[in-house]
Structure 1
């Protein structure tokens, strides 16, 4: 979730394939008679949240661990709140043009991790109970899922929603031509209803790439520290004692082939040995400590930009909550 795409960009790509899993005053709405009954988009309140990732791991060797940069990341809960609000506003906006579209609720296809840190697997697998059941795979309900399909849209709906004449099948495709400036005499918003929704929420060009970049750099740099290198070497020696030759926790899943949904006894044995060696060598704690130390310095070096991003994130989530009440 490093870079938040605007709803206008998302709608153009996703409406033909899969539903997005993305992200105050905005431009004034055009003066038009309000419908007597405002349509409301389907809300994630109706979605099963049992498979949503926890903000902080609740089990395993990573239990309770949270890196300093996580305070500046967009969480999955934030993402769902913003997506809910975007769809709610888009539904209302389309209805103002006499167009009615039912968008599916956000939050149906959660990722394995709550944010970019991917703490449960940042240093390799860390939960023995899961390893005993799934090996290196993900629990049921957390396997990669295709996004929920968007409803089929008419030409008029596409133009009013996106401000374009057609949809893009992928970001690599050329941008479609602009739609006519009006629909049945009513001006179409810049980038359509999707762009208008972004303006209302303040999410245009909201960019988490700095946080994602720093997070990746800290992981790479921490891996090269003497403390972590020694811990990895100790882990590797432990694995060798269990009969497995491997140089890094990131390569342990390659010792035996993995099959989603039905891990072999051999895979489970490797996964359990992997976590056992992490525990006996204290690898996760040592790596987390070095990772945290580097991130604390990164935050000092980029304090102003990170604080501004966190403030803006708080503001747009607040705007989303207000939009859903309106």
Structure 2
């Protein structure tokens, strides 16, 4: 069920370009079908012991807009600063380790061939949404350079300076190299993150940024609507093909 948009929660907001990108449910269906098609092909090639690597669990942002404009969850920041939830990070690391090396002895050439055959049946969800994602990313960059966003960044920066932190833009704090160690969360990081969120909330930074990006996306969508509509139709077809693959033995 789609969460109702909450003006205080960026994770619930929806950008215009998202209507042309595969939904989480569609992407999951496509991924499952591709994994089944590859496994069947590899099995038939004489390697029944092979299994697809585990799907990576969510880490950090749960939607396109969650964390797109930086952190916003005070409770999480109070525990983890700019880092993802500890349990999520552990689950993600475990899945990465499991899928990093294939220990079944399956021939690499067979796996590549089977992946190529699966691609012919069902393209990846990432590929289906790549054009819309590119338009969105271009709009994000333009929005970040827009006067209204630059103005709210300056207010945020002044707010942070009054609290003892010197950063020009919100993502400068988020990307501070002192907070890059994935296994370490310092008291300094937590204090910075909490100050960051307080200043963001004071000047409604995320909403101003989101609104500016949405305004940049709308004309881009109108200009490229034919291509976007074609990609959305391709996604619908890929989901239908995926369901057919999943329905077979």
Q: Report TM bin, short chain.
A: 0.7 to 0.9
Contact 1:256 1:267 in 2 (8 A): no
Counterparts of residues 57-76 of structure 1 (less than 5 Å): 61-76=9-24
**Equivalent residue number for residue 41 of structure 2:** 93
Provide, for residues 199-232 of structure 1, a one-character-per-residue CA deviation record: whole Å limited to 9, x for no partner.
2335599454322221121111111211111111
Q: Tell me the distance in 1 between the aligned counterparts of 2:177 and 2:111.
A: 48
- Change in Cα spacing, 1:295 to 1:109, as seen in structure 2 (3 Å) is same
**Equivalent residue number for residue 105 of structure 2:** 153
**Equivalent residue number for residue 230 of structure 2:** 308
Contact 2:20 2:132 in 1 (8 A): yes
**Equivalent residue number for residue 236 of structure 1:** 157
Q: Tell me the distance in 1 between the aligned counterparts of 2:149 and 2:84.
A: 26
- Change in Cα spacing, 1:154 to 1:55, as seen in structure 2 (3 Å) is farther
Structure 1 stretch displaced more, 73-82 or 127-136 = 73-82
Name the SS of the counterpart of 1:142 in structure 2.
helix
- Change in Cα spacing, 1:58 to 1:139, as seen in structure 2 (3 Å) is farther
- Is 1:264 aligned with 2:221? no
- Which gives a bigger RCO, structure 1 or 2 (Cα 8 Å, sep 6+)? 2
Task: Give ranges in structure 2 of 5+ residues lacking alignment.
Answer: none
- Change in Cα spacing, 1:229 to 1:265, as seen in structure 2 (3 Å) is same
- Change in Cα spacing, 1:323 to 1:79, as seen in structure 2 (3 Å) is same
Query: How far off is 1:80 after superposition?
Result: 3.4
Structure 1 stretch displaced more, 87-96 or 56-65 = 56-65
- Is 1:120 aligned with 2:120? no
Residue 201 (structure 1) aligned to one of 105, 118, 122: 122
- Change in Cα spacing, 1:268 to 1:100, as seen in structure 2 (3 Å) is same
**Equivalent residue number for residue 199 of structure 2:** 277
TM-score, length-scaled by structure 1? 0.64
What is the root-mean-square deviation in Å for CA atoms of aligned residues? 3.0
Contact 2:22 2:125 in 1 (8 A): no
Q: Tell me the distance in 2 between the aligned counterparts of 1:227 and 1:100.
A: 58
- Change in Cα spacing, 1:94 to 1:123, as seen in structure 2 (3 Å) is closer
Q: Tell me the distance in 1 between the aligned counterparts of 2:119 and 2:45.
A: 18
**Equivalent residue number for residue 107 of structure 1:** 55
Q: Tell me the distance in 1 between the aligned counterparts of 2:156 and 2:118.
A: 50
Name the SS of the counterpart of 1:298 in structure 2.
helix
Q: Tell me the distance in 1 between the aligned counterparts of 2:173 and 2:125.
A: 41
**Equivalent residue number for residue 28 of structure 2:** 80
Q: Tell me the distance in 2 between the aligned counterparts of 1:63 and 1:207.
A: 23
Give the count of matched residue pairs.
240
Query: How far off is 1:87 after superposition?
Result: 2.1
Which of the pair has more CA radius of gyration? 1
- Change in Cα spacing, 1:72 to 1:252, as seen in structure 2 (3 Å) is same
More helix by share: 2
